[in-house]
Structure 1
Amino acid sequence: MYDAERNEPEPPTFLSTAAGVARLLDLDDAVSVPADRRARHLAHAVRRPLLERISLPEEFFAPLMAAAVHDPDPSFCRWFIEPALYAFGRRRVMAALLDYARTGTVPERAGAERAWYCAHLPLRADRSRAYAPGGSRDPALDEAHAIVDQWLKYTASPDRNGS
């Protein structure tokens, strides 16, 4: 049993998840940054390139959500949630956060609750052409009332902490 425990992968950290997003953008330039600031440096490095893209490939969704959930600072998890909202839609982002809240580890559940606030950011035309007048955004991507209802039901549940 001890050997099996040693061979299990380490749980994701903010550094590993932020590094995953940086790798997708070919931004692995944080080696010279002290280890205690490396994750925040990577998060800062990916923010602008993520927001400047008109769209993001599917392969970005899971890493963005993981980085948002593992970011320990509720003010900065927005750096991962906001581009996910624009690229993949509010409904999908909120559904992923609800899934983390229901099935994640204790730190992931706490991270999902921190990130939930950012999932309500207003989506603006100056951030994405899809939201400009005449934009081509499917409104269904941002229709999240059913997910919000599920979140509220989940958070009101007395046994939501896995007990």
Structure 2
Amino acid sequence: MADDDRTRTSTEQRSFLTCATAVARLLGVEESAGEPGDLRARRLAHAVRKPLLERESMPEEWFVPLMAAAVHDPDPSFCRWFVEPAVYAFGLRRVAAALVDHLRNGTDAERAGAVRAWYSAHVPLRPDRSPLYGPGDGLIGAGRRCPA
């Protein structure tokens, strides 16, 4: 692996660690020190997954940290852990708009992350999956209706 590739990978992992740490702090989840950054970031992501889905509501200020964590998660299988609660809480339209913004204005890493997250944003919503789910058209989430 070339030095540039190692530096880029290290920077992306640090970004994901920063984002995962921000979400963990919002939830009051303790960060475990002493682990390598990529392992620590994955453990934090795992630790916040269930609490995010179990919440009955999410404050507005959580949207940006959730989307940042989703876009910076290097694993396409796990970025869903941030995208799905965001869709339930804030709706598909808002999540999709944020992802499109990353595609238009983000770094190369953020654009790649937005593409990975796009797939997860379109999973079917299930009422039994999260208390955040509310009646609606399935596009907005949390019972929010699209303004006329």
> Shorter-chain-normalised TM-score: which range?
0.7 to 0.9
Structure 2, gaps ≥5 residues long: 1-10, 142-148
Which residue is 1:78 aligned to? 80
Which residue is 1:137 aligned to? 135
Structure 1, gaps ≥5 residues long: 1-9, 143-163
What is the alpha-carbon distance in structure 2 between the residues aligned to residue 129 and residue 45 of structure 1? 18
- TM superposition shift of 1:137: 3.1
Which of 28, 43, 53 is matched with 2:30 structurally? 28
Larger relative contact order (Cα-Cα within 8 Å, sequence gap ≥ 6): 2
What is the alpha-carbon distance in structure 2 between the residues aligned to residue 58 and residue 130 of structure 1? 13
Q: How does 1:102-141 map to 2 (within 5 A)?
A: 102-129=104-131, 131=133, 136-139=134-137, 141=140
Which residue is 1:50 aligned to? 52
What is the alpha-carbon distance in structure 2 between the residues aligned to residue 13 and residue 74 of structure 1? 16
**RMSD between superposed Cα atoms in Å:** 2.0
* Identical residues among aligned pairs (%): 64
Query: How high is the TM-score relative to the length of structure 1?
Result: 0.73
Query: How high is the TM-score relative to the length of structure 2?
Result: 0.80
Size of the aligned set, in residue pairs, is 129
